[in-house]
Amino acid sequence: MKLRYSPTSPYVRKVSITAIETGLAERIERVSTDPWSAETDLGQANPIGKVPCLITDAGDAVYDSPVICEYLDSQHDGQKIIPADPDARIKALTLAAAGDGMLDAGVLLLIETVRRPAELKWDWWAERQQTVVNRCMDVADAAADSMATTDGPITIAEIAIGAGLGWIDLRFPDMGWRNDRPALADWFDKISDRLSFEQTVPVQA
């Protein structure tokens, strides 16, 4: 398998953590890709033009990160990151959606507040994205006591929430999300010590 990736993408990190947790990391060749480059051929594999994009051994493209994680989970016989039990599965996938939603809104917030030219900035839009980030964090905070930490089985929920918070810390170090969410802060400290998280810490490019 080949993984089209960029180094600080939190969506890529979800896939990298999943690959480690499922024992598949060694089977994946990583291909550095700049999705923002005018010259990139990424769009031929992923019409959405984003990383991560996985190319299977059969040559099929799989995107985006929730689908890649599900694909990887189907390729091993160990502990599944997406539970089989229907109730547990929906619970994990819904919490993972809150993690992805935190990221999607965080990316829009970054573009609006940092990347967009000053004269084109739209405060209403930025505030809306910040509200979404906050709400998703509140949901994660409420679930924190029931989430896996350093050891034991992990699900897609912990992977998405953990990758999301790690990226927020990288891009918005002054957001102060820990202040009102001690349970989530404590959980994030613990999950950050997990090997798959330690091995995939994003580094500022």
The correct pick among 19, 54, 55, 64 for binding ligand GSH (CB under 6 A) is 64
CB nearer ligand GSH, residue 13 or residue 181 = 13
**Interface size with ligand GSH, residues (CB under 6 A):** 12
Query: Would the CA dihedral through 92, 96, 99, 101 be positive or negative?
Result: negative
Query: Would the CA dihedral through 124, 125, 129, 135 be positive or negative?
Result: positive
**Is 9 a binder of ligand GSH (CB under 6 A)?**
yes
Range 75-104, binding ligand GSH (CB under 6 A)? none
**Is 5 a binder of ligand GSH (CB under 6 A)?**
no
CB nearer ligand GSH, residue 97 or residue 148 = 97
Min CB(127)–ligand GSH separation in Å? 21
CB nearer ligand GSH, residue 110 or residue 142 = 110
- DSSP designation for 85: S
Residues 6+ apart with CB under 8 A from 158: 147, 148, 191
Q: Are 192 and 162 in contact (CB under 8 A)?
A: yes
**Is 46 a binder of ligand GSH (CB under 6 A)?**
no
**Is 7 a binder of ligand GSH (CB under 6 A)?**
no
Range 124-143, binding ligand GSH (CB under 6 A)? none
**Is 49 a binder of ligand GSH (CB under 6 A)?**
yes
Instruction: Give how far Cα 103 sits from Cα of 20, 106, 172, Å.
Output: 21, 5, 12
Residues 6+ apart with CB under 8 A from 152: none
Min CB(197)–ligand GSH separation in Å? 18
DSSP conformation letters of 24-66: -GGG-EEEE--TT-TT--HHHH-TT--S-EEE-TTS-EE-SHH
CB nearer ligand GSH, residue 108 or residue 142 = 108
The correct pick among 50, 80, 171, 181 for binding ligand GSH (CB under 6 A) is 50
Torsion of CA 155, 161, 162, 165, to 10 degrees: 180
Contacting residues toward ligand GSH, per CB under 6 A: 6, 9, 11, 35-36, 49-52, 64-65, 107
